[in-house]
C-alpha cells in the first residue's frame, strides 16, 4: 500500500499536548490526515465508527497517551489487541510516564515504540519515513 497517506490518530486528553503533536507534524511536513480523541473510549468509537462517528480508515497509526480519564491508554491497548479487526494496529506510546512498569506493559502488548512527550521530535522523525516508505496491508 505504498503511496497512500496513512491516517494518524492522536489519543490524548490534554489539548495542549495534542496541539503540540499537530504543530510538530506541520513543521516536519507530515501531511498524513490527523485525527484526535480525548480518551480511549472516544478513540474506540472513532476506530469502530460507533455512536454516530464515521469509521476511521485502516490501517491507522495510533499515538497513545497512558494517563487519561474514562479509559486509559493501557486499557485501550488491551481492547485493541483483543479485537480481531484492530489487534495488529500500529501503536506508538506518547506519554510522560517514564515508569519501567508502563514501558513493559506497553511492549508486552506489542507497541511499535514508546516515546516520552519531551522527545516529541524523535517520534515525528521516526513516523515520517515510517509512514512514507512502509508497505502497509490493504
Mean confidence (pLDDT) of the chain? 91
Q: For the residues 23-31, what does the mean pLDDT come to?
A: 91
Beta bridge mates, 93: 64, 114
Give the number of residues written for the chain: 138
User: Domain coordinates of the chain in residue numbers?
Assistant: 7-119
Say if CB 98 and CB 45 are below 8 A apart.
Answer: no
Say if CB 67 and CB 14 are below 8 A apart.
Answer: no
pLDDT score at 82: 95
Q: Which of 61, 50, 80 minimizes the C-alpha distance to 4?
A: 61
Q: Which of 59, 55, 58, 57 minimizes the C-alpha distance to 44?
A: 55
d(CA 110, CA 104): 10
CATH class of residue range 7-119: alpha beta
The whole-model pTM stands at 0.92
pLDDT score at 135: 81
d(CA 4, CA 9): 16
Cis peptide before 127 (omega within 30 of 0): no
Pick from 7-11, 32-36, 130-134: least confident: 130-134
- Residue 28 is placed in which grid cell? 516536519
Q: What is the DSSP string of 6-36?
A: PEEEEE-S-HHHHHHHHHHHHHTT--S-EEE
Amino acid at each position: 500500500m505504498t503511496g497512500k497517506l496513512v491516517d494518524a490518530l492522536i489519543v490524548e486528553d490534554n489539548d495542549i499536548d495534542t496541539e503540540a503533536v499537530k504543530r510538530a507534524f506541520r513543521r516536519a511536513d507530515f501531511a498524513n490526515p490527523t485525527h484526535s480523541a480525548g480518551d480511549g473510549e472516544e478513540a474506540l468509537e472513532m476506530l469502530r465508527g460507533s455512536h454516530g462517528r464515521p469509521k476511521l480508515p485502516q490501517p491507522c497509526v495510533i499515538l497513545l497517551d497512558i494517563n487519561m480519564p474514562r479509559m486509559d491508554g493501557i486499557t485501550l491497548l488491551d481492547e485493541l489487541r483483543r479485537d480481531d479487526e484492530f489487534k495488529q494496529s500500529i501503536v506508538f506510546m506518547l506519554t510522560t510516564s517514564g515508569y519501567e512498569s508502563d514501558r513493559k506493559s506497553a511492549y508486552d502488548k506489542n507497541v511499535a515504540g514508546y516515546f516520552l512527550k519531551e522527545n516529541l521530535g524523535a517520534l515525528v522523525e521516526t513516523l515520517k519515513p515510517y509512514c512514507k516508505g512502509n508497505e502497509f496491508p490493504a
